[in-house]
Structure 1
Amino acid sequence: MSSYTNMVVLFFNLLLMFLVATAGRDFYKILGIHKSATIHEIKKAYRKKAKEMHPDKNPDNPKAAELFQDLGAAYEVLSDSEKRKIYDRRGEEGLNQGDMSGDPFSSFFGGFNFKEQTPDAARGGDVVMDLEVSLEELYSGNFVEIIRYKPVAKPAKGKRKCNCRMEMVTTQLGPGRFQMVQQHVCDECPNIIFVPEEKILEVEIEAGMRDGHEYPFVAEGEPHIDGDPGDLKFKIKLAKHPVFERRGDDLYTNVTISLTDALIGFEMDITHLDGHKVHIKRDKITRPGARMRKNNEGMPNYENNHKQGALYITFDVDFPKKALSNEERDIIKKILEQDSKQQVYNGLQGY
């Protein structure tokens, strides 16, 4: 057997060993996405799968917990840009062993690096725009259509200088004498102009999104005449709500009740962001500033919609404005059986 044949056999054996070593779970298949998926598509796929595959929703599947763990592992790796690069090159085994830079066969074949070296391409600027959304949309989710006038390259007359760069040019001055000079070199390319074209973009407002969240559209930003366009990013801006205030995943609201309700108790319903009713019942005395907590009535958690914050209700008491007669005052004293009491103190202590 010739040395060349031995070399080929050895190469394929190494290749087989490499493929076996890098075999593992297919994280892209687990999430149901393409290898070119953006970080937004990865997060969207994970949230959708997490809802479907949660063990609580699949009590009859003995492998539900294991599949849910695989889903979490896939999201952990693919949502991290560095881990994703290692996984794409070396598979799950590469993550366990740590990344080996360069080509795995480079040391065997004389130290040649087969990795393609490409310069950074020119790129247009990113465009960041505020998108005001309501608390109702962030609670239930929604789709918002936006008309975008995007500059699109069109052919134009004439030529233009493109791909300009600095190159080293060698000139022979004589026998055995050379001169190297750096020169500015450009290509001649067809001329283009940018014409605005209308395009409709659909932004998905996902349940639980937070104020300041960025929603990207790849290559929808500013164009570049010699490179790729930048990205368009919508930054979620929460509009002020007349009833609720959001703090993290919790909601806060105030309810004003009468002095009668504060003393004898009351029942009422609060209309929530999606229209359902939150029932409140108080049988005891409600002091001004008293707060009630209703679990699982807050905002859905963006990363896990199975979790939900709380609703905090602070009560204000509306005291009557009419003057009481002496007889009415005596009746109140008799009912309350409470002696007159005044106390001056520092109410800020303990803060």
Structure 2
Amino acid sequence: MGVDYYNILKVSRGATEEELKRSYKKLAMKWHPDKNSVNKKEAEAKFKQISEAYDVLSDPQKRQIYDIYGEEGIKSAELSSPSGGAGAYRFNPRHAEDIFAEFFGGSDRKVYGDGVASQGGKKAPPVESKLACSLEELYNGSRRKMRISRLVPDEFGKPKTVDEILKIDIKPGWKKGTKITFPEKGNHEPGVTPADLIFVVDEKPHAVFKRDGNDLIVNQKISLLDALTGHTLNLTTLDGRTLTIPVTDIVKPGYQVVISNEGMPLSKEPSKKGKLIIKFDVKFPSRLTAEQKSDLRRALGGAEN
């Protein structure tokens, strides 16, 4: 049979004219290119399919031929036209907007919400929500799925609650305050263009790392003995690697170890990273015995300079 127009419109083969209209309205609003700016090519193809299916099934002559002979039959049959004469059926993609206009008004109207077209007017103020992200997510990138509920008018104009899953691709290197906007995903009120939903990135505190711009800072506690004699640090990075960092210098107040390209990715150039900065907190003993003091004087007596 080729293309299944009934399946495209999601109706049974015995669907009434009202059922065809109701299903067309719902699907046309979902796939109208004005509502799918991100996947416009896919939307245009779906919108054309839906319009072609409705054009055939809503016409008794075309539907009868299609039911008997399928897609090949309808596209090779001689069909009468309102202006007289006859010709094989060919759906012109430009007619998709004409069909849409019959239901929702002129083609100059931009589609909003789920089942309504608006002539402009005022727009509801944007709605902002925090998007709390771990430092691992902001380092590696991730995908979040957010479930939202909002009010939209049904095909008869009555408000109904719909649930939707929004997908947010968190890019490596995004910072606190980064905004992700979903146009017109707020509640739809009569005469008002729906609000934009805006998610604002917030950073969760991390147990080991602290972020400073594109740099990562680690505060490392170290004993006085290790500060004087040397120490090797093993640090697990935000992407699961283990860094082995030998500290051979004497750790004095304010001493830091700086490692290039081990900080946060740069959002505009993720292959480059900031610095990893390790700061040290030397733990002094709370008390020493007389013998220990004597040993220290003997060992360090000539090391003041």
Matching residue's letter, 2:242: K
- The alpha carbon displacement at 1:124 in A equals 3.0
Give the alignment of 1:33-72 within 5 angstroms: none
Query: In the aligned structure 1, how far is the partner of 2:288 from the partner of 2:212?
Result: 40
Whether 1:319 and 2:284 are equivalent positions in the alignment is yes
How far did 1:340 drift?
8.0
Residue from 266, 273, 276 that aligns with 1:301: 266
Match of 2:297 in 1: 333
Superposition deviation, residue 261 in structure 1: 0.6
When the two structures are superposed, what TM-score results if normalisation uses the length of structure 1? 0.51
Task: Select 2:221's aligned residue among 253, 256, 267.
Answer: 256
How far 1:321 moved relative to its partner?
2.3
Q: CA deviation at 1:339?
A: 7.9
Q: Deviations over 1:102-144 (max 9, x none)?
A: xxxxxxxxxxxxxx9x985332332111111111100001111
Instruction: Output one character per residue of 1:299-350: Cα deviation in whole Å (capped at 9) or x when no partner.
Output: 000111122100111011111223321x322221121124889xxxxxxxxx
In structure 2, the partner of 1:222 is 187
Q: How large is the RMSD of aligned CA atoms in angstroms?
A: 2.5
Q: CA deviation at 1:238?
A: 0.8
Q: Displacement, 1:155?
A: 4.4
Query: Could you give the per-residue CA deviations for residues 205-240 of structure 1, whole angstroms, max 9, x where no partner exists?
Result: 110001010011122123232353221110001111
Matching residue of 2:206: 241
Corresponding residue number in structure 1 for 2:234: 269
1:2-21 matched pairs, under 5 angstroms: none
Q: Which runs of 5+ in 2 are unaligned?
A: 1-35, 39-107, 111-118
**Does residue 1:289 correspond to 2:267, yes or no?**
no
Which secondary structure state, in structure 2, belongs to the residue aligned with residue 307 of structure 1? strand
Whether the aligned pair in 2 keeps the contact of 1:125 and 1:221 (CA below 8 Å) is no
Contact 1:136 1:274 in 2 (8 A): yes
Residue of 170, 173, 176 corresponding to 1:205: 170
CA contact (8 A) 2:152 2:187 kept: no
Task: State which of 234, 245, 259 in structure 2 corresponds to 1:280.
Answer: 245
Alpha-carbon separation, structure 1, partners of 2:230 and 2:159: 69
Q: Distance in 1 between matches of 2:241 and 2:304?
A: 44
Between the aligned residues of both structures, percent identity stands at: 31
Paired position in structure 1 for 2:133: 133
Bigger shift: 327-336 or 196-205?
327-336
Return the structure number with greater relative CO, CA threshold 8 A, min gap 6: 1
Equivalent-residue separation in structure 2 for 1:322 and 1:139 (angstroms)? 43
Q: Distance in 2 between matches of 1:338 and 1:194?
A: 85
Distance 1:255 1:288 in 2: 13
1:13-53 Cα deviation digits (max 9, x unpaired): xxxxxxxxxxxxxxxxxxxxxxx867xxxxxxxxxxxxxxx
Whether the aligned pair in 2 keeps the contact of 1:222 and 1:231 (CA below 8 Å) is no
Indicate the residue corresponding to 1:146 in structure 2: 146
Question: What TM-score do you get using the length of structure 2 for normalisation?
Answer: 0.58
Residue pair 1:213, 1:235 contacting (<8 A) in 2 also? yes
CA contact (8 A) 2:260 2:274 kept: yes
Q: Is the 8 A contact 2:173 2:265 kept in 1?
A: yes
Deviations 1:52-85 (A, max 9, x none): xxxxxxxxxxxxxxxxxxxxxxxxxxxxxxxxxx
Superposed, 1:73-152 pairs within 5 Å as: 120-152=120-152
| Cα distance change, pair 313–231 in 1 and its aligned pair in 2 (3 A) | same
Amino acid at match of 1:333: R
Stretches of structure 1 lacking an aligned partner (at least 5 in a row): 1-35, 39-115, 157-191, 342-351
